[in-house]
Structure formats: structure tokens, C-alpha cells
A and B are shown apart, each in its own frame.
Chain A
């Protein structure tokens, strides 16, 4: 009896529940946003933010780009609702682009709605556009790049495997940039010089929620090596002997970093040890046979690469300490781990300017390829 009654209760409940499939989405009736671009509204339009969405090609043959500007991101969604036949979903959002103007103004208004929405993955990649995000998307679409989304998604996802450029996720941007005294690096995109596609020009630094500087490729490389973000890339070298060009070529290396922090009185000293491991890609000895059986020669190449990089890094550190006045290379936590109570208040005012940062670079070429 009681079992039968319970069965009836459960069946009744199930059948009432079946009447409302509250959360079902019809995937064919969705506007699937793959890339979202955020800009300040174009001149002449009111509001604070313009959201450009690149929608996947579901019913239509091509991907669609549409821009709506309004006071807030949420309001643009409401605009979109009035204008578009299908429901806009963020569940497949893969890349967020931030226009240069908006990046300077601050991205708080666009990160908040996206982090709050559970459907948006915080692991999606973020990039800054040199210019307007909307224009970049339109430019790429016009250049007949069949799938704009594919190009951008794989470019940003795989870039650390090919170059010393950071990959930054929405979460990093949101979480790390709020840490006092720290800056987050975001890759910067722009239409390529040859007008054929897009190119990465380096990275942009954000402190709190504002873009404070843009770095070129060399500086970006120094930043990546110093901050220990995992990356791979090609580095050219020239080896001089007695003032004469002796050998030149390229190495392909992956980076690693170790940070040690110590105190000399009041002064906090960071020792950053950057280790690059990899292989020789090519070299062309100018004055000598091109074989590399002498280990000495290999060591000289390593030294040349290391010296070169060390100089650039020291330049970058100087630039960072004197002009940026912010920690862009993620070393503050090491100091905090030792003197958290003491340093925490300092971070708000000035910390990185007053420390000593030493860099040491070591290059290990483990492989010279098929040739000797």
C-alpha cells in the first residue's frame, strides 16, 4: 500500500514537472556567440560600451557580426533581444576582444557581467585590439577569412607554443589585475601590415582594470621570460669574435624561471634565474666550417643568446621599475610569502620601485638537430 502510494506521488510529481521544461534551449534557435568584442561606442552614438558579437554559422552560410551599443553590457543584450530573431547564448564564447579605447577606460564593466554568468567559461582567452575590436572583426570577415572564429580562437590558444607572448584568460584578467601592485599582460592584436590577416604586436599591461602600457614584441618577450609564463619560441643570435661577425642563427627554446628573494637590510632583493632549454634551429658560421663538434662553440652560442636576452631583460626591468612602477612579472607573491604583514600595506603605495631585481639567464641547447 505505502509503496503504491509513494509510487503514485512520485509519478504525479514527475508528470507535473514534465509539463515545464524550464531550461531547455533549442540549439537550432540560438545565436551562438563565439567571439565578443568590446569597444567604446562609435562617435555619435550614446552609451558607454559597444558589444560586437561574432555568431556561428548555423542557419546562414557565413558567420555573422553584429554590434549593439548601450550604457551597459546587459543593456546591449536587451537591444539585441529586440532586434534579432534568435536567442543569444554565451555558452560557446571562446574569445573576448577589448578595443584599445575601452581598455584605456577600464574593463570592469565588461568583466563583471561575463564572470557573473555561469555559462561563460572563465578560461576563454582575452586579447586587446590595437584599434577597435569591431573593426578588426569586420576587417577579417571582409578579407575572406572563411572562419574568423577559427583563426582567432586557435591563434590565441596556441600562441605560447610558438612565440613568447602570454595567453591570458578571462579569469586571470579579472582576478590578477585587482591584486594591488600587480599588472596583467594581455596579447595585442591588430590588422596585419600586409592587410592579409591579423598579427600579434605584443602585449598590453593592465593595472586594476585599466590598460597602462603597450609593449612591443621584444619587451613582451622579456616580460614572458621574466614572469615565467610557459612559452616556446625562436630567438635569433649573432656571435661576435674579436669584433667580427663569427656565427649567426636561431635557437628554439622553452623557458623556465626561478625566483629567490632575500633581504639586505631594508632592501628586498629578488634573484630571478631564467633558464631556456631547447635546440639549435640553424646557424651559419661565417669564417669556419659549419659543423659543431666542438662543444666550446655551442657554449659560445648559448652565451651569446643569454647575454643578449639578459640585456633586454635588464632594460625591461628598468623600464618597469622607473616608468610603469608596477609589478608586471609576478614576483611580489614571493616577497609576500615571507613578509606578508609587512609588505601588504606597502603594495598600495610603492613597492616594486624600491626593490633590487637581479636577473641571470642560462641557455641550454640540448640538441643540434640532424647536422653536426
Chain B
């Protein structure tokens, strides 16, 4: 199997799209007309392909053409550095020196003031280059075509990440453009050992995918594992990085996210420094980070920016939030319907009084409220911000109040479900929020049958499941099961930064030392 590095873009043999009249791997003909003939069917169907024949100033007899996709190229550069250079400024003396078959190199070397140029000589490569957004320069009599990367066009400017908000961290968020995203990482992490491997995924979408890691920290085994899995993806197209996530995950029968995704470069850099691997795909402002541990979904980047005393308090409350989010409604059911002895008698009497107005059993009451909240949340996510807020207010306040006064719900259940919902969104990661919402329903069902016994059995199964999960071969529930004492100082609590001298044990790395001499 060819090494990954050789599979740079454009060299991939996978595409199965049909080329009219031509074999895929045929060499290009020398004449400009033969190339034009190949491109003709595309040019006729696609109005955004511009096929522009030009005359090179240095060699007016030779026909040449520039082909590009309108909208994918930076027009400023195209006009200044390609058209102008070739048509007005190219120097005849230099161009005509040397062998005739080197004309294309001469053009590349002397006429085009652009950084990224490569030569293609296969039909398939030429077509892919065009559709990848490269600008083709072809010259009559030369079988090779220059593919020039001046992609540009309209891009979203980096913005504050909408989902992962932060108070003290960087306000920059990833955008849809891969090279811009990579540059954000490079800007923050100037280590020469930062490796960025690129590949193309999707036969038709031809999405650029990059794998980032720090060579002398990250475990080669993990990198190889991820690389292999990405190379094995054979799909017509991916429209977001979520596709890749699902292809990479080890355990499909699990609601838990086995990769962390982030839209913040500062977070990704921190993860890279711990020896993790980041995966980027163009078109998605999210970056996948692997391996992910369960605890890392309960950690926010502020935890590291704030003072430990405060940060630990926040982190503890997040753990509490997770436990509440999973189990509060279940606990409510099991206490009310199974083990009322655990409720202080004053509260019990009050609850019973409220319940006596409601015609449904506790389970049905909880499920009704749970489903309503589920719908409210789902609605709020998709609606524009201001309408979403209105829906939230209407649903939350009006509906809740009306339900109580209509005796459809008791006040206690409204409180329980509200606390649960709030607790759910205290989790910093949205994938984990989704998982939590599903698990909560399962917990409700188990406790409805077995009460407190079901509750702890539910936790047992949940923990068994968590312990059995692996993210790219790394135990998912790591610092807790298997227990790694060294890592416990950055799980429930975060120790002082100056004490975190080593990278987490839970993630295999080459170099564990974080502070002190060894690390460059």
C-alpha cells in the first residue's frame, strides 16, 4: 500500500466518474486542441468554467489557454499574476532559451509570480485539478499542464465561535476554509514538529481532509490508526466532518461521542500539545480531536485559563450537572413511586398534596414533560436566535404555568425537568448533551420498573458501557477505569498548572515530559 504522504491531492486513483471518450489514466495529448476537446463537454455544460485562449507575449506563435472556475479563484491574483504576467510582461529571451520541450517549465519558472504551481500530465488529474478550483495554464505543443493554486473567492471571516463561547479564551473560531484553519493552528503552534498531512475524501465531493499532530509527542500507533481509517473511507461524498467521525469510531452501538469536536483553535492547540491528533475537513468549521476521553467532554478551556480554585469549582459543578442531567428525573420517579422513605416527611406530604391533583402516574407525568422539553430544545436550536428565545419563553413559562394550573403537571416535576434541562446544557460539548438526553430517557424507563434498584443497575450498565468503549484504541473512561492516579489531578479537579509536569497518562504519547528540560 502506498504511503500516505505519496497520496497527495490529485494523485488519488479512486475516482470512478466517467470521462467521455477517454480512459481515466490516459496521458494528455500535446496539442492544445486535444486538451480543449477533453474539456469541451464540461465547458459546454458548466457556465462557470472559463476557457480563455491567450497569446503569450514572449512567444506569440504559441497558442495558450487559461482555464478556471469562476468564483473559485482570486480574480485579483488571476489578472495580475497570470494574465498580466503572461500576456504583457513575459520575457522572450528567457523563454526561448533552452529546449523547446521545457517551455512549460520556463513559463512556470519565469512568468508566473505565484507560489503553488504543479504540473499535471494525466487527463484525470487535469479535470480534477480544474474542479478542485485550480487554474490551468496550457500551452500548445506541451503535454503537461500547469495547475496553479490561486483559489480564493468569497470566504467567511473568522468569527467568534457560536457554540463554544468563552469568557477568557481566544475569540477566534474556525471557518469553512481548510487552509485558513490550518493557518490558525500554525500561528498558535510554531513547532517545526507539527505535521499536517492532507488527503482527499469523497469520490465526488473531493473534500480536503487534513490530519494534524505533533510528531515527537503523538503516539505513531494512533496516527497510523487514524490515517489508515481515513484512507479506507470510500464514499461518494462527505458534506461535513461528522461523516468522518462516524467512519473513524470504534464502537457504533453507543450514544457517546468518541471524538471531541471543537471550533476553537486555542482548544485544538492545547489538545495537540497533549499528544492528540486533530482532523480537519474543508467545509466544516469544526475540528475532530482524537483520542477523546469521557472526562474531556466535561472540561472546558476556561478551566485552564482561570485560577484553579475557581476553575475547580466550575468543573465540579459540571460533573454534578452531568449526574443531574442523566439521573434527576429517574431519581424523582424512584423516590416518589418506590422509596418515599428517603424523602423528608414534610416534603413528602407537600409532594403528595401536589400530586393528588394530577391524574397521571408519575412516569407518564415525567415522560410528558421530558418530551415537551425535548421538543422545545429541538425547536430552539433550529430557529433564528430571536424567535428561538420567544419560543423558549412561551414554552418554558407559559406552558409550565398553564400545565400546573390545569393540573396536568405538578410543580415538582416542572422544577425537576427544568433543573435537568439546565444541567444538560452545563456540559461544554454538544455531542455529549445529545448523548445525555438519550441516556436520561433510558434511565427513566429502567427506574419506572425497578425504582432505586433500577437506578443503580442503570448506572452499572452505563459505567460498564463507558469502560468498554475505546476511542482509537485508547480506553474512553480512562482516568477512572482503568484508574490512572497520575491523571486524577486533571479530571475532577485541575491541579496547579506548574504541577502538571507530565502529559496525561491516559493518552499514549512518545514524550511524557511537559515541563522541564526534555521538551523543546
Contacts and interface: CB of A to CB of B under 8 A. Distances in A.
Q: Does chain A touch chain B in the assembled complex, meaning CB atoms less than 8 Å apart?
A: yes
Interface of A: 3, 7, 14, 17-18, 20-21, 23-28, 30, 32, 34, 56-59, 89, 91-92, 94, 119, 121, 149, 153
Nearest to B359: A28
Given A23-B451, A27-B355, A121 B340 contact: no
Given A14-B445, A27-B336, A92-B340, A56 B352 contact: yes
Most buried by B among A24, A26, A89: A24
B349 A25 contact: no
Given A24-B337, A28-B352, A28-B356, A56 B345 contact: yes
A94 B343 CA distance: 12
17 contacts: A17-B450, A21-B449, A24-B362, A24-B363, A24-B451, A27-B340, A27-B352, A32-B348, A56-B345, A56-B352, A57-B353, A58-B352, A89-B340, A91-B339, A92-B340, A94-B345, A149-B345
Given A24-B448, A59-B353, A92-B341, 13 more contacts: A14-B445, A14-B446, A14-B449, A17-B450, A21-B363, A26-B361, A27-B336, A30-B340, A32-B352, A34-B345, A57-B349, A92-B345, A92-B349
B124 to A, nearest CB: 40
A17 B449 CA distance: 7
A222 B451 CA distance: 48
Contacts of A58: 349, 352-353, 356
Interface of B: 253, 336-341, 345, 348-349, 351-353, 355-356, 358, 361-363, 445-446, 448-451
Contact of B340 (A14, A25, A57, A149): A25
Instruction: List 8 A-B pairs, minimum CB-CB distance, nearest first.
Output: A28-B356, A91-B341, A28-B355, A24-B337, A92-B345, A58-B352, A56-B349, A27-B352
B209 to A, nearest CB: 29
Contacts of B341: 91-92, 119, 121
Given A58-B349, A58-B353, A91-B340, A24 B253 contact: no
Contacts of B338: 23-25
A28 B351 CA distance: 9
Nearest to A20: B449
B352 A30 contact: yes
Contacts of B445: 14, 18
Given A18-B445, A18-B448, A58-B356, A27 B253 contact: no
Contacts of B361: 24, 26
A73 B450 CA distance: 29
Nearest to A149: B345
Contacts of A25: 337-338, 340
B276 to A, nearest CB: 28
A26 B345 CA distance: 16
Contacts of B253: 3, 7
Most buried by A among B352, B356, B358, B361: B352
Contacts of A92: 340-341, 345, 348-349
A18 B345 contact: no
Contact of A26 (B337, B353, B449, B450): B337
Contacts of B337: 21, 23-27
